[in-house]
Amino acid sequence: MQPHKDQEASLHRARSVGALVVLLLGAPGAGKGTQAKRLAAHLGLPHISTGDLFRENLSRSTPLGLRAKGYMERGELVPDGLVIEMLESRVSAADCRGGYLLDGFPRTLPQAQALAKSLEAAGLSAGVPPRLAVIDIEVPDGLIVRRASGRLVCAACGHIQHKEFDPPKQAGRCDRCGGALQSRADDQPEVVTKRLEVYHRQTAPLVQHYRAAGLLDAIDGQGNPGQVFDRLLQTLHNRGVQGGRA
């Protein structure tokens, strides 16, 4: 079977200019996941999130997944080294030879240092060092709290509305199916605020690390998703990346 044309182009780019690795940073609720999927599709790169890595390895009961499951069942954090092993296993696949987009990793400076060693080893193996682009999607904490605390989820169909930005026509009822709209416990202001505090504490050294290395660009994550996506593309264009080509 012949490789898909996109995969052939991906392989060619990897051999000629090095794989493109895009890291998207952003606080929980900043819209990073939405932008990551759209950007990966635009660039023709696999979208890889740590959540997907865990789910894939656990569902397939891989040796890595079984090791991770042991930590999780004991209520312990999965060590960075094991997460890196999962990542290395995933990015060794043929579809990642031209690069990939990481969503939600790294989150801490030790994770970034482990990733750097992995990328260095991959570059030595390929004979061409990978190109790294790091983009931080910045949204004020107050707006993230407003976004989350106003979210309403339909208990019947899962449709999402918002008290402020997309209010239901009938109070407490889903516009799509008429089901009951509910607020999630983890969307309460105090819970969101705590989550943001943890995120900022973990990622402040990470952001400083990539900024000092000249790899980080920060963009405004406010506005509609289309506006934010345009800013992402412009930032990558300024870095010499356009539509997956350097």
Active site residue 90: no
- Which residue in the list 97, 151, 231, 239 is annotated as catalytic? 151
* Residues linked to residue 47 through DSSP beta bridges, in sequence order: 101
- Which residue in the list 37, 38, 173, 195 is annotated as catalytic? 195
- Which residue in the list 32, 90, 131, 147 is annotated as catalytic? 32
Contact 55, 68 (CB under 8 A): no
Nearest CA among 2, 10, 1, 5 for reference residue 95: 10
Nearest CA among 99, 89, 121, 80 for reference residue 9: 99
Q: Give the span between the Cα atoms of 134 and 137, in whole angstroms.
A: 10
Expressed in angstroms, the distance from the first to the final Cα of the chain is 28
Nearest CA among 48, 10, 49, 26 for reference residue 228: 26
Active site residue 32: yes
- Which residue in the list 107, 163, 176, 211 is annotated as catalytic? 107
Active site residue 38: no
Nearest CA among 83, 45, 80 for reference residue 64: 83
Q: Give the span between the Cα atoms of 42 and 229, in whole angstroms.
A: 10
Amino acid at 130: P
> 106: cis peptide before it, omega within 30°?
yes
Active site residue 201: no
- Which residue in the list 60, 184, 194, 201 is annotated as catalytic? 184
Q: Give the span between the Cα atoms of 237 and 228, in whole angstroms.
A: 14
Q: Any idea which residue has 């570059």 for tokens?
A: 123
Active site residue 107: yes
The set of catalytic residues is: 32, 107, 151, 184, 195
